[in-house]
A and B are shown apart, each in its own frame.
Chain A
Amino acid sequence: MSTTTRSGSSGSAHDTTSDGGSSRLGTVACLRLVGAVAQSAARQRIRTSGIFFYALVWMAAPLFGALTVVFIYRASPDLRDYAIVAGAGLSLLFGMQYNAGEVLDEERRRGSLGNLFASPGPRYVWLAGFQLFAVGESLVAAALTVGVCAAAFGLSVSMNVLSVLVVIVLLLSCMWGFSMLVGSIGLALRDANQLSNLLFPVTTLLAGTMYPIALMPDWIQVPARCLPFGYAMQALVHAVVNDASPQELQGELLPLTAFAVVLPVLGIAAFHAVERYVRQLGALELI
């Protein structure tokens, strides 16, 4: 574990870095730790709210968001199909941004963040556990959203399973990096929830969860192309509705793959930088 202490008299910072136990834990132990953290996060969430209220908060918001869009497109079958499938993207975006982005802030509010950092497990292992829970929850919400919308409005499905799997894996990697990036900033600002509230309308506008990026005005297409979500939504819709193969989706999958590599790296770097920053401030546990 890396700890940094700042000398008040000289003003210079010196690092005392110790191994956080990563070398002492094998792969199996790390995987068990990931599973245990994910399970603990799920139990914590359900115990806090109860299953009913938990489902109300985390499943209903993306579902009704997608339903609203599908109602708008009720007379346009192509756009309606797009909105139903992209509803899954909306659910993933919602779940990963709010849940994964805020999980550390929740720990801070509960006063257990310091303990997490002081625990002997590598921090990326317990962080992966939280992310695993977020991914599972988001996938359930996504499946529910698509299922309900398809049942209510109908959906022409001609699915290429391989393409769907490839897109979802790449999208989750992108979302994992993105949520870690957002979560790091939220941790530094000590208000991840409001940051998520601030960013969600921006990402909804640019993510192509409501309409294909190609149909947006040019001035919005430019920033939208700088994010991975629009490529993922377009590829997902083609894979589900038009039986598009991975080869046919090259135009979307190539940039998506690049984002799937770069965003997690950026996320880890941001998390590391923020961790050093808050340790220097000594503000990790302060509300």
Chain B
Amino acid sequence: MSVARSSVTVKTPSRPGPGQARVVVATARVFLLRFASNPIMVIRGPLGPFLVLLTFHLAYDVSGQEQVAGLDATGFLVVGMLGTLVWSSTVWGAGNALQAEIYQGTISAVVAAPQRLSSVILGYGVGSMLFNLPALAVSIVTGFLLGADFRIEHPAAALLALLCLYACCLCIGIGFGGLFLLSRQSNALSNFLQGPVYLLAGFFVPRSALPDWLHLVSDVLPISHAVDALHKTVLSGASVGQIWPQLGATALTSLIFLAGGMAGLRRLDDVVRRRGTLDLL
């Protein structure tokens, strides 16, 4: 059988605006319902961060380190745990979004429907982040119980840094969405991208401890700068004015991921329609 290759690309009419927002909300809702129906996930959500935090707290405790890069060690770990949760949402929620649709056999409907793929990915990311909110609360409470010394003198700055952390991860998620799908190894990439980023972004070890060349690699990641900003506002009482360099670096690197991701998704949409390989992905 010969397959004729058409040069005509069918353009999907996109409807930016409230319609896209509804897609994000609906996708997030479906994500939450799916996860909430799994008892192990419901238990694991808040239990995991508690155990991980306790484990790393003990590691610093047995080595007699009460300060990490001039910051309270337990507080440093709590911020790192927040970063871990958001990053986990990025790779397993947003990054893995289209692969999840393939796994469920619904990718054709998602691509053919008149909405942007980025809205679906965003919905997965938001759903995953919402699902992790109890874990975030558990991390903060565990931090207090373990004696974390938080010094938030400018709550607005801390909130802004936290929002930047979430926003930059959504941008990375969109950046990864098409890449993961095109690699056909979304699960493998999601698994892989945890350990290295935990190290590079300074979640459990300060970035200042990394060799220079690794420090440079970590500068490419928006999440590294967002976590730096969160460290400063939550543990050193920094104001918005004092974290502008970190916020600026977060915004710049996030935009690169976002632009690359949007271009990649458009290309993906174009390629799968032209080649008719949607169900083979």
Contacts and interface: CB of A to CB of B under 8 A. Distances in A.
B9 to A, nearest CB: 30
Interface residues of B, number: 34
B134 interface: no
Q: Which of A60, A76, A201 has the most CB of B within 10 A?
A: A201
B52 interface: yes
Interface string A175-208: 0000000000000010100110110011011000
B52 A201 contact: yes
A117 interface: no
Interface in B153-192: 185, 187-189, 191-192
A258 to B, nearest CB: 26
Nearest to B48: A201
Contact of A201 (B55, B59, B187, B192): B55
A212 B255 CA distance: 44
Q: Which secondary structure dominates where chain A touches chain B?
A: helix
Interface stretch (A35-43, A62-70, A155-163): A62-70
B40 A189 contact: yes
Contact of B205 (A57, A68, A195, A211): A68
Interface in A89-112: none
Q: Which secondary structure dominates where chain B touches chain A?
A: helix
B188 A57 contact: yes
Nearest to A210: B59
Contacts of A64: 194-196, 198-199
A74 interface: yes
Q: How large is the interface on A (under 10, 10 to 19, 20 to 34, 35 or more residues)?
A: 35 or more
Given A53-B185, A71-B209, A72-B60, A198 B199 contact: no
A50 interface: yes
B47 interface: yes
Interface of B: 38, 40-41, 43-44, 47-48, 51-52, 54-56, 58-60, 62-65, 185, 187-189, 191-192, 194-196, 198-199, 204-205, 209-210
The 8 closest A-B pairs by CB, nearest first: A64-B195, A201-B51, A53-B188, A56-B192, A194-B40, A71-B205, A215-B62, A53-B185
